[in-house]
C-alpha cells in the first residue's frame, strides 16, 4: 500500500446516497461530523426504506451489544440490515453487531461476519478497556486500505473484540491479536474510531465512500 498524507485524495464521494443507521450509539454525532468534513452530509435514519435505498450504509455505535440489538429489533431493522447488498460499514460496536454472536450479554447479533465477539482479558501491562492509539498490522490487500501505511495508528476504545479470521483485513494487538478491520462480501467493519483517528481515519472513511 502506498502512503498518502492528504486524506482528501481520491474519488469524491456523493453525499446523496450515504445514510447513518440510528442504532442509538453515542458516537453517531461525531461520525456524522467526520463525514461532513469530507463533504458528505449523511442523514441519520431508522427508516427501512431509506436504508434500503441508500448507496452506502454506516452502522455506528458505542455501548453494549444487548441493548443495541434490542433497539434494532424494536425498529424492525435486523432483517433489513441482513438483506442489504450495497457497501455497509460497522464502526466500533457497529462492527461487533455484524458478527454472529457477542459474549457481551451473550447475545445473537446480525450474523454477517462468522465470528463471536470475545471479551479482552486484562493481564500485566494490558488494561481493559483498551483505550488509546494502537498500531495496525495489515493482513490482506483491499481497496478499503488504499493509501494507508502498514504501520499506521488509530484510536481504540473497547472491551470486546473480534478474533482474527479469514474476514480480517487488518489486525491490532492488545495482549492478544484482534481484528481491527474486517470484510465479508459487501459488509465491512472498523473496531477503532475512524472519526477520532486523524488523517488515517479520514482516509479510511473516504476509501469506504469510494468503494
Does residue 169 lie within any of the structural domains?
yes
Q: Return the C-alpha torsion angle 27, 170, 155, 94, nearest 10.
A: 10
Does residue 141 lie within any of the structural domains?
yes
pLDDT greater than 50 at residue 110: yes
Choosing from 130, 158, 174, 193, the catalytic residue is 193
pLDDT greater than 90 at residue 25: no
Does residue 118 lie within any of the structural domains?
yes
Distances (CA, A) of 126 to 174, 181, 196: 7, 21, 22
Q: What pLDDT score was predicted for residue 27? A: 65
Average pLDDT rounded to a whole number, residues 51-73: 94
- Backbone φ and ψ for 4, nearest 5 degrees, come out as -135, 115
Domain residues for the domain of 205 are 15-209
Q: Is 195 a catalytic residue?
A: yes
Q: Is 141 a catalytic residue?
A: no
Mean of the per-residue pLDDT values of the chain: 91
Q: Give the domain CATH number at 144.
A: 3.40.50.880
Q: Is 130 a catalytic residue?
A: no
pLDDT greater than 60 at residue 134: yes
Does residue 4 lie within any of the structural domains?
no
Q: What pLDDT score was predicted for residue 1? A: 47
Does residue 41 lie within any of the structural domains?
yes
Cα 211 from Cα 202, distance rounded (Å)? 14
Does residue 6 lie within any of the structural domains?
no
Does residue 9 lie within any of the structural domains?
no
Choosing from 92, 99, 109, 139, the catalytic residue is 92
| pTM beyond cutoff 0.85 | yes
Percent of the chain exceeding pLDDT 90 equals 82
Q: What pLDDT score was predicted for residue 66? A: 94
Q: How many domains does the chain have?
A: 1
Does residue 8 lie within any of the structural domains?
no
Amino acid at each position: 500500500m502506498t502512503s498518502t498524507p492528504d486524506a482528501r485524495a481520491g474519488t469524491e464521494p456523493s453525499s446523496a446516497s450515504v445514510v447513518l443507521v440510528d442504532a442509538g450509539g453515542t458516537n453517531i454525532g461525531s461520525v456524522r461530523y467526520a463525514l461532513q468534513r469530507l463533504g458528505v452530509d449523511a442523514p441519520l435514519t431508522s427508516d427501512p426504506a431509506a436504508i434500503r435505498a441508500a448507496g452506502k450504509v454506516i452502522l455506528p455505535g458505542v455501548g453494549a451489544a444487548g441493548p443495541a440489538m434490542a433497539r434494532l429489533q424494536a425498529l424492525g431493522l435486523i432483517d433489513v440490515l441482513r438483506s442489504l447488498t450495497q457497501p455497509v460499514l460497522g464502526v466500533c460496536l457497529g462492527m461487533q453487531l455484524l458478527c454472529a454472536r457477542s459474549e457481551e450479554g451473550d447475545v445473537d447479533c446480525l450474523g454477517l461476519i462468522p465470528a463471536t465477539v470475545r471479551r479482552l482479558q486484562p493481564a500485566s501491562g494490558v488494561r481493559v478497556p483498551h483505550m488509546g492509539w494502537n498500531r495496525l498490522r495489515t493482513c490482506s490487500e483491499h481497496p478499503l486500505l488504499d493509501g494507508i501505511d502498514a504501520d499506521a495508528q488509530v484510536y481504540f476504545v473497547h472491551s470486546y473484540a473480534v478474533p482474527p479470521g479469514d474476514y480480517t483485513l487488518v489486525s491490532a494487538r492488545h495482549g492478544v491479536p484482534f481484528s481491527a478491520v474486517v470484510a465479508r462480501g459487501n459488509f465491512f467493519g472498523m473496531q477503532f474510531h475512524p472519526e477520532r483517528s486523524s488523517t488515517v481515519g479520514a482516509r479510511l472513511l473516504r476509501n469506504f465512500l469510494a468503494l
